[in-house]
Amino acid sequence: MAEYLPVDLSSLKTDTKVGCDLYLLVKSGADSRYILYCRGDAIFESNKREMLLGKNISRLFITKEDQQKYYEYLENNFQSIISDTSISPGERTKIVHSAATNLVKDLFNDPRSGNVERTKTFAYNMVDYVLKDNDAAHSLLKIAVHEYYTYTHSVNVAAVGTLFAKSIGFKNEDLRELCSGILLHDVGKTRISTDILNKKGKLTKEEFDEIKKHPELGIEVLDEADIEFKEERIITIQHHENDDGTGYPHGLKKDEIHLSGKIARIIDVYDALTTKRTYADAVRPFAALVEMKEKMSNCFDNELLMEFIRFLGPYDPRKKPRQ
């Protein structure tokens, strides 16, 4: 029996082919069943949308096996979706986050040049979304709270890192390259055993030495993609360098570390601390910042860390967005 997943009506653009069959959930007494509403190879016409809206139906369903096709549809129609003011900021953010997460998941499952290039293109679009939508910042920060997976971690760090960089004066093109670099920063982990990456207990020295290879392995992946990268390479190789020179892979310190590398280091640690991992529970944002400032100060540029703490203040998830 097929398993069905809900998709929000707002994510479906009229006069497009979605690429997967869309179903309507019909309830009759105690029974419920899924009825084909629009075939994937047919145009999703405006009258189909209007009929649903007239009946206060806000979502349709797809089969689980068609989930990938739906995400590809979102990615291909990204600009028109995020520009649609009839979609609430919260819904737009969910679409952005889910499409980005699926993209990075594809990248980690198959880090060939096509997926690397897709990631860079999506990063540029994601930055455009942040620049266009004043509510995007709060929405993106609010949604980035969940279980830790390598691909969702990359999306969280990219969202928060982009917003932070914007707050300290990064220009549009620099923001795009930063976002792209952070989405790609852990791609080297695709060449490390999943047994090590997913281990619940403490890593042995040998296992940690393997983990420490991922920045350089990431550079190998980027080089093989045969695409022009600059900021992406810097972030990939530097996101584990510490301000006092104790980081890896090159033991860089202070001004030897690029500003983008310093930003990635701060956001990378913050997200890892505030999301639930296989070996540790999530820490509350305030507690994470205290730990970073009091127990890990050697890792970060202190002035930049203080800027980050000030940046996060207005976006406490317990507060409402600023008007």
Asked whether residue 247 falls in the same domain as residue 221, the answer is yes
For residues 4-31, give the mean pLDDT: 91
Range of the structural domain that residue 230 is part of: 77-315
CB environment 218-257: b (16+ within 10 A), e (fewer): bbebbeebeeebebbbbbbbbbbbbbeeebbbeebeeeeb
In the predicted model, is pLDDT for residue 65 greater than 60? yes
Is 36 inside any structural domain? yes
Same domain, 181 and 295: yes
With a cut of 70, say whether residue 279 has pLDDT above it: no
Are 315 and 137 in contact by the 8 Å Cβ rule? The answer is: yes
Number of domains in the chain: 2
**Contact, 126 vs 93, CB < 8 A?**
no
**3 state SS of 168:** coil
Position 72 in a domain: no
Q: How far apart are CA 137 and CA 156, in angstroms?
A: 12
Does one domain contain both 180 and 204?
yes
Q: Is residue 128 part of a domain?
A: yes
Question: In terms of domains, do 39 and 152 share one?
Answer: no
Here the tokens at position 198 are 């997913």
Name residue 23's amino acid. Answer: Y
Residue that finishes a domain, picked among 66, 86, 108: 66
Residue 3 structure tokens: 């398993």
The answer to whether residue 145 scores a pLDDT higher than 60 is no
Residues 276 and 151: their CA atoms lie apart, in Å, by 14
In the Cβ-directed half-sphere of 294, how many Cα atoms lie within 13 Å?
A: 6
Report the pLDDT value the prediction gives residue 48, as an integer from 0 to 100: 92
Q: Establish if 172 belongs to a structural domain.
A: yes
Q: Assess whether 148 and 290 both reside in one domain.
A: yes
* 14 and 107, same domain (yes or no): no
Is residue 252, in this structure, part of any structural domain at all? yes
Mean pLDDT computed over 15-42: 92
Do the Cβ atoms of 263 and 305 come closer than 8 Å? no
Residue 321 lies in a domain: no
Kindly state whether residue 323 falls inside one of the protein's structural domains. Answer: no
Q: How many angstroms separate the CA atoms of 227 and 120, rounded?
A: 10
Is the domain of 40 the same as that of 133? no
Which of 32, 47, 66 is at the close of a domain? 66
Contact indicator for 140, 159 with CB cutoff of 8 Å = yes
SS3 category, 245: coil
How far is residue 152's CA from residue 104's CA, in Å, rounded to a whole number? 8
162 shares a domain with 116 = yes
SS3 13: coil
pLDDT, position 215: 97
Same domain, 26 and 110: no
* Better pLDDT: 111 or 301: 301
Task: Among 66, 97, 119, give the residue marking a domain's end.
Answer: 66
Query: What are the residue ranges of helices labelled H in 55-192?
Result: 67-76, 78-82, 89-109, 113-132, 136-143, 150-167, 172-184
| Shared domain check, 238 and 100 | yes
pLDDT, position 63: 96
CATH number at residue 309: 1.10.3210.10
Residues 230 and 262 in one domain: yes
- 54 shares its domain with 156: no
By C-alpha distance, which of 145, 152, 166, 7 is closest to 77? 7
Confidence of residue 307 (pLDDT cuts 50, 70, 90): very high
Domain assignment present for residue 6? The answer is: yes
Alpha-carbon torsion 63, 49, 72, 5, what sign?
negative
